[in-house]
Amino acid sequence: MASSTSRPATSTQIQLCLMSLPKDKAPRHFMVFACSDSRVCPSHVLHFQPGEAFIVRNIANMVPAFDQLKHAGVGATIEYAVKELGVANILVMGHSNCGGIKRLMSYPEDGSEPFDFIDEWVKMSLPAKAEVIAEAGSADFHEQCERCARESVNLSLANLLTYPFVQKAHLDEKLALRGGYYDFVNGIFELWELKSHISNLIIVQS
């Protein structure tokens, strides 16, 4: 993670940070993948007004890889946002103390699944868990979960590129893919590009 500094930010500054695109192109709409957790409402965190963002919320803000049969519902929302709305930004926003990430990090090695739907969903981010264990296997569980929340966002960004229409729009510089992480305890919002670069931290004022 690149070194960064924090600064107080107004809602306008947060929007400008999100809106920065190559060649100063101004975006028309945002698509946001956010967690279902009621503590991290994206419209509140990012100061969106009605009509400014197309928002999808699920357990641990995960985006599955392209699969026309298994995850048709998610694919339909992405297709609508990119091909019909013509969004210029897709943001995947993770957050601190995420229950879905905790479940992922405690996912049993033997493959037993006490939760039918939750486990089937979160296991798509097992590669993110493996990355965290490889890099921070000696860290405590809380630290591993916070790392995994970010790694899972990066995996979701990579998964977005498996959708042909997303990949084309991104390569044509019509679509920016960004990751975000909201620490709701300290009021800090991190934003980074697909290239694994962490931008300057912004403190979201409540």
Query: Binding site for Zn(2+): residue ranges?
Result: 35, 37, 95, 98
- CA angle, residues 203, 135, 111, in degrees to nearest 5: 105
First-to-last C-alpha distance (Å) of the chain: 26
Q: Return the structure tokens found at 45.
A: 């965190």
Distances (CA, A) of 42 to 4, 30, 48, 69, 189: 23, 11, 8, 28, 11
Look-up: residue for tokens 């970010």? Answer: 150
Q: Return the structure tokens found at 94.
A: 């993770």
- CA angle, residues 94, 95, 97, in degrees to nearest 5: 135
Distance CA 64, CA 67 (A): 8
Total Cβ atoms within 10 A of residue 25? 13
Q: What are the binding residues?
A: 35, 37, 95, 98
Q: Return the structure tokens found at 60.
A: 């641990």
